[in-house]
């Protein structure tokens, strides 16, 4: 029984580790500030996200885990389609439409995500 529990715990840990990605794929030396309208949002593990429509394209903005967003004051209800938002973050090295957000501003409230 003990071995079965250890095996199950190991499998769960492995799945979570594989689902999570490192931040080295983002260009910390090339910060961007984007403003636009949220087209889609997800308040899910391992990281929340928004699809932010700017003047020239739609970005996939990777946010913090839901527990961190909630504890820092960014409730799920703020991440809705049609909401205006501004983000500061770092572009992905190979995905030209992806950004890792350091902070997000909605309704004049800036929330630090890292």
Domains and CATH numbers, the chain: 28-112 (2.40.50.140)
C-beta separation of 51 from 61 below 8 A: yes
Record the tokens describing residue 40, joined without a space.
Answer: 């889609």
Whether residue 100 is predicted with pLDDT greater than 90 in this model: the reply is yes
Query: Is the model more confident about 54 or about 4?
Result: 54
Reported as a single tens digit per residue, the pLDDT across 58-80 is 999 999 999 999 999 999 999 99
Say what the pLDDT of residue 55 is.
97
- Collapsing DSSP states into helix, strand and coil, what is residue 45? coil
Cis amide leading into 62 (omega within 30)? no
Q: Which helix (H) or strand (E) holds 37?
A: strand 32-42
**How distant, in Å, are the alpha carbons of 34, 58, 60 from that of 92?**
14, 14, 10
C-beta separation of 48 from 66 below 8 A: yes
């Amino acid at each position: 029984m003990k071995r079965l529990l250890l095996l199950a715990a190991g499998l769960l840990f492995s799945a979570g580790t594989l689902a999570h990605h490192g931040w080295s794929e983002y260009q910390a030396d090339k910060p961007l500030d984007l403003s636009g309208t949220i087209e889609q949002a997800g308040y899910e593990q391992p990281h929340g996200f928004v699809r932010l429509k700017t003047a020239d394209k739609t970005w996939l903005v990777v946010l913090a885990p839901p527990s961190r967003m909630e504890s820092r004051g960014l409730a799920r209800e703020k991440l809705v389609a049609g909401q205006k938002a501004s983000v500061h973050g770092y572009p992905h090295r190979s995905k030209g439409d992806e950004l890792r957000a350091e902070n997000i501003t909605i309704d004049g409230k800036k929330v630090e995500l890292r």
